[in-house]
Amino acid sequence: MKIVAQLASESFCFDASIKTHLVVSFLAPPLAEKAERPPVCVIPVVDISGST
């Protein structure tokens, strides 16, 4: 599985408060014609606590 995350803007001022969008894309590898892929549950979690 390939996961790509990209912000809507390429640069930000470090001392400015802004709102932006984060786009996350998931790309699963191709399967053989008759193969069945098991179901997948993806749960996004965003930590905004500010702790490291």
pLDDT value of position 52: 66
Q: Over 70: is that where the pLDDT of 27 sits?
A: yes
User: Which stretch of DSSP H or E encloses residue 2?
Assistant: strand 2-7
* Top-ranked range on mean pLDDT: pick from 2-6, 11-15, 42-46, 47-51: 2-6
Arithmetic mean of pLDDT, 21-43: 83
* For residues 29-45, average pLDDT: 81
> Nearest 5°: CA angle at 43, between 39 and 46?
160
